């Protein structure tokens, strides 16, 4: 059998081109103070979650599920988590997935049907794009946080004989800009258009809304609302929960290939998420402490001439790829774990430092970060 001399020449060439443009990625170890993670409440390494896992082990909870949920992988911990989550988030039902990426991909590839239209915000997550790529529905991109543009696209589609269901897909808090979606306006528009609103609460869960239930928590119970809550950010665990009317989760169980053909998440992790939800519901002190740190960071960012944001995510937009990389490198040398974010993750010309404020850092460490950044810039 003849072997190719360079079996991966296309991949090698592609990596070389990325390197030429300063966009080659590599895995870097953890080092320095945490200004890059999504562990907003500092729960990932907490005693609270360690105890939840130990208690689960004591009652015989297995590490592995052994199969998909539709086979033998459906453990009581999964069922209890979904009941707890539905109660916590105020939805009729909830369904647990192994990650936010898998959940978003399954949601968008399964729920919208042939002949439907999905209008999504321009800055929605890559996992939603992956689901839409697999979907049978048509989709259009709306300007960021612009309900008027969404309405214009929807009405134009109807006038061109579009007759299916309209879906509006947004994030409640955007992961690279830190800004918030106008959810009340979007919910009113969904009602007006007889549309379904999908809200990805990934970066808001645990932090915003009553008891950390998310920015869309006051909209829960509506028949045309579906929310997604990731468990690997403020909740400190792993996985994601899709919440909404029971017909949504029943349909995903029957038609969602990303759910049907995946090994079920670890029952031990489901137990950890249950423990996190119970803790977060009563964690107003943690949210208050985080707000104090975020307020300080926002003031320091604006003092340097940057626009800041409305949340714990603060973009320091430097524009040029190389400038962002150099600034991040200097901060890392000084002991601050800040990463450069470049295209295609963000738009061309908007390379940035993404500063994430968590309870893993103190007020004085936040001051130190911005003093160092001022000297670098």
| CATH code of the domain made up of 30-45+283-376 | 3.90.1150.10
| CATH code of the domain made up of 61-280 | 3.40.640.10
Annotated catalytic residue: which of 116, 121, 177, 200? 200
65 is catalytic: no
279 is catalytic: no
Q: Would you kindly state where each structural domain of the chain is located, as residue ranges? A: 30-45+283-376, 61-280
Annotated catalytic residue: which of 78, 125, 229, 279? 125
311 is catalytic: no
Annotated catalytic residue: which of 34, 36, 38, 217? 38
Q: What is the pLDDT of residue 5?
A: 64
175 is catalytic: yes
Give the model confidence (pLDDT) of 189-236 as tens digits: 999 999 999 999 999 999 999 999 999 999 999 999 999 999 999 999
138 is catalytic: no
Annotated catalytic residue: which of 34, 84, 151, 171? 171
| Residue 331: pLDDT band with limits 50, 70, 90 | very high
Annotated catalytic residue: which of 172, 175, 276, 351? 175
200 is catalytic: yes
Give the model confidence (pLDDT) of 1-41 as tens digits: 566 667 888 999 999 998 888 788 888 888 899 999 999 99
Annotated catalytic residue: which of 39, 233, 262, 360? 233
Beta carbons of 311 and 278 less than 8 angstroms apart: no
Interval 312-322 mean pLDDT:
95
Interval 317-330 mean pLDDT:
94
Give the model confidence (pLDDT) of 153-164 as tens digits: 999 999 999 999
363 is catalytic: no
């Amino acid at each position: 059998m003849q072997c190719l001399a360079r079996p991966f020449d296309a991949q090698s060439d592609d990596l070389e081109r990325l390197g030429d443009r300063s966009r080659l990625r590599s895995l870097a170890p953890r080092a320095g103070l945490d200004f890059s993670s999504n562990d907003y409440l500092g729960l990932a390494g907490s005693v609270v979650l360690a105890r939840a896992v130990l208690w689960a082990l004591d009652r015989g909870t297995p590490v592995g599920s052994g199969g998909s949920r539709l086979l033998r992988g459906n453990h009581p911990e999964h069922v209890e988590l979904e009941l707890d989550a539905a109660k916590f988030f105020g939805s009729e039902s909830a369904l647990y997935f192994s990650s936010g990426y898998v959940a978003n991909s399954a949601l968008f590839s399964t729920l919208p049907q042939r002949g439907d239209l999905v209008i999504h915000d321009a800055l929605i997550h890559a996992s939603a794009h992956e689901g839409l790529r697999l979907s049978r529905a048509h989709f259009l991109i709306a300007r960021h946080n612009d309900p008027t543009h969404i309405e214009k696209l929807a009405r134009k589609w109807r006038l061109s004989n579009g007759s299916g269901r309209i879906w509006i897909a947004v994030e409640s808090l955007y992961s690279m800009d830190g800004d918030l979606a106008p959810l009340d306006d979007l919910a009113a528009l969904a009602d007006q258009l007889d549309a379904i609103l999908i809200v990805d609460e990934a970066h808001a869960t645990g932090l915003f809304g009553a008891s950390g239930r998310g920015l869309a928590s006051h909209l829960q119970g509506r028949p045309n609302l579906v929310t997604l809550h990731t468990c690997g950010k403020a909740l400190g665990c792993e996985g994601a929960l899709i919440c909404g009317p029971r017909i949504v989760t029943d349909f995903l169980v029957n038609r969602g290939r990303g759910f049907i053909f995946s090994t079920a998440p670890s029952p031990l992790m489901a137990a950890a998420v249950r423990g996190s939800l119970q803790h977060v519901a009563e964690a107003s002190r943690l949210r208050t402490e985080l707000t104090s740190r975020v307020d300080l960071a926002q003031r320091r960012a604006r003092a340097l001439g940057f626009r800041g944001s409305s949340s714990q995510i603060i973009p320091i937009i430097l524009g040029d790829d190389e400038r962002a990389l150099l600034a991040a490198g200097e901060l890392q040398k000084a002991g601050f774990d800040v990463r450069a974010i470049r295209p295609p993750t963000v738009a061309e010309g908007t390379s940035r430092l993404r500063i994430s404020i968590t309870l893993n850092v103190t007020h004085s460490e936040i001051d130190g970060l911005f003093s160092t950044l001022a000297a670098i810039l």
